[in-house]
Amino acid sequence: MIRIKFDEQIFAWWWLPDFPDDKVPGYVSFSSGKTVVVHILGMFDSVVNWKQGAPLVYGRDTRNGLYTLTDVSFSGQLEPLEKSYQVVELHSNLAFAGVHVPNHDPQISEIFFTPTGLNEWASSDEGIDFSLAEDKTAWLARIPVNRESMTCEIDDECKLSLEYVRWASHTFDDSCPVEHSCHCRITFTSPTTIEKCFRLMKVFCDFISFSTRIMSGFDSYSAKVLSDLELNTAPGNEDNRIIVLGLNSAVKASSEKRMYGQGGRNYFTLKHIEDTFQVTLKSWYDAATKYETAYHLYFAIASRKRATYIDHEFFTYVQSLEGFYGKDNDRVRFLSPGEYRKLLNDVIYPFIVQNTNTGGLAEAMRDKLQLANRWTLREQLREILLRRTDDFVQTWIPNPDPEAWISYVVASRDNFIHVLDKPDTGVSLGWQYFVKTLIALRLLVEAHLLEVIGFPKEEVDRILNTTYKSEDSIAT
């Protein structure tokens, strides 16, 4: 497999696949999670209209390494006297190193990836030791206990394996190679697209983020592709192993700086689920499909910074809870498109036309519009709290009367979205009360996710009750 050191300048010849004799020299340096930009000295003679771009551009470096740029756009500055381009930039959001692929969507048979923090999470129960090699060229990550690889059948078409191996990657701060102790592999019974690969990888990174409560991305990733062997004559890449470049998917955080351990904030480590790895991980992937909207809504806000709008976070947790528990309850019936359209045409539109000047529209509509979801937020929160122990309620609900807290959440939701003409002015109980409410709502979301992957209710409450009370500074 081709080796790439981030930020190292690479010199290569570049050409369009249909014009292999029209080669132009240029240089590039790759950075994880950033768009690929190649600087070429001149312009391809075969390009008639450079504003149209090119679907593919091939490259071969001075060490015979192969590159493919996909969906390429050109930019450059025209020299007014010579009317030619001296330096042109090739921009590609998705590039492949190690192979010339025949199209922008190559077929993938296997993909290898290392989520940020995987090494520490998988080894945090026994400890992990990072030490600098004698020649000071690499960080070595050593696990004191040897372990067998574990696998999970995600579905009939793909299998995920967590494997303990040694392979080189890089930190993001100084491009110093790191010897990884484990990585993940997804294999497919029939070739698939890079988009599906990254969807599956993203769900696993979410799993690491959830268990460690520190956001995870891709430290590194490579894939095996099906391609025309006549296009790939570079030595050392007989297995068509490639590196995917340009996708904005990596978290800029070197793994040796992450903090784990029994005194840390992990919900659980690999040791907790070793005996149930297949069931736990399969349940996680099934949940990502079943609760798709609520699931992705939650993880979209989970990486938030302090600058995130506080009401945005509040809505996220409330809507996630409604989405999770609504899917599991038969009291929820959503209108079909036909029913919804008939309701709009027969009831809502005529009523609005007749009452636009009344000023009490929201109040009057209460008797006219029957919601499809008959299970209200108040009823949901009551049932959700009944599933938690008294210790959880006393620890995290910022009111000795849970019913009063539920009323506060419902009134805050209504107040924010202006459901009522006269919002309830009694919902403001101070900033700290609202922050503690956010913490409680988030922990209720996470309690549901823990139960979804097989943790018993008593263990969930034990985990949540030992969570640090510094939660106002983080999201997950």
The string of pLDDT tens digits covering residues 226-273 is 766 555 555 555 566 788 887 654 444 433 344 444 445 678 888 889
**Nearest Cα residue to 296 out of 372, 209, 412:** 209
pLDDT of residue 339: 73
pLDDT of residue 57: 94
Q: Do 199 and 185 touch, CB atoms closer than 8 A?
A: no
Residue 232, CA distances (Å) to 111, 185, 237 in order = 19, 23, 8
Query: What is the rounded CA–CA span in Å between residue 399 and residue 401?
Result: 5
**pLDDT bracket for residue 83 (50, 70, 90):** low
pLDDT of residue 101: 85
pLDDT of residue 120: 72
More confident of the two residues 301 and 24: 24
**Nearest Cα residue to 460 out of 190, 85, 210:** 210
Please, where are the H alpha helices in 237-356? 270-273, 277-290, 292-302, 310-327, 337-343, 349-355
**Nearest Cα residue to 6 out of 243, 249, 256, 258:** 243
* Residue 332 pLDDT exceeds 50: yes
* Residue 388 pLDDT exceeds 80: yes
pLDDT of residue 465: 82
pLDDT of residue 186: 93
pLDDT of residue 46: 83
pLDDT of residue 362: 53
pLDDT of residue 149: 84
pLDDT of residue 472: 41
Each residue's pLDDT tens digit, 25-52: 999 988 766 788 999 988 888 887 777 8
pLDDT of residue 441: 93
Q: Do 393 and 406 touch, CB atoms closer than 8 A?
A: no
**pLDDT bracket for residue 1 (50, 70, 90):** low
Residue type, 45: D
Query: What is the rounded CA–CA span in Å between residue 62 and residue 152?
Result: 41
Query: What is the rounded CA–CA span in Å between residue 240 and residue 224?
Result: 6
Assessment of whether the complete model's pTM goes beyond 0.85:
no
With b for 16 or more beta-carbon neighbours within 10 A and e for fewer, the 43-73 pattern comes to: bbeebeeeeebbebbbbbbeeebbbbbbbbe
Mean pLDDT of the residues in the chain: 76
pLDDT of residue 263: 45
Which range of 56-70, 330-344, 421-435 scores highest in mean pLDDT? It is 56-70
What does the pLDDT average to over 326-350? 70
* Residue 452 pLDDT exceeds 90: yes
Each domain of the chain, given as residue ranges in start order, spans 10-97, 107-226+259-289, 298-333+373-473
Question: Interior CA angle at 384 toward 442 and 267, to 5°?
Answer: 45
**Nearest Cα residue to 69 out of 38, 25, 33, 110:** 38
pLDDT of residue 185: 92
% of the chain beyond a pLDDT of 90? 23
* Residue 309 pLDDT exceeds 90: no
pLDDT of residue 252: 43
Question: Any bridge partners for residue 115, and if so which?
Answer: 218
Question: Interior CA angle at 134 toward 130 and 136, to 5°?
Answer: 75
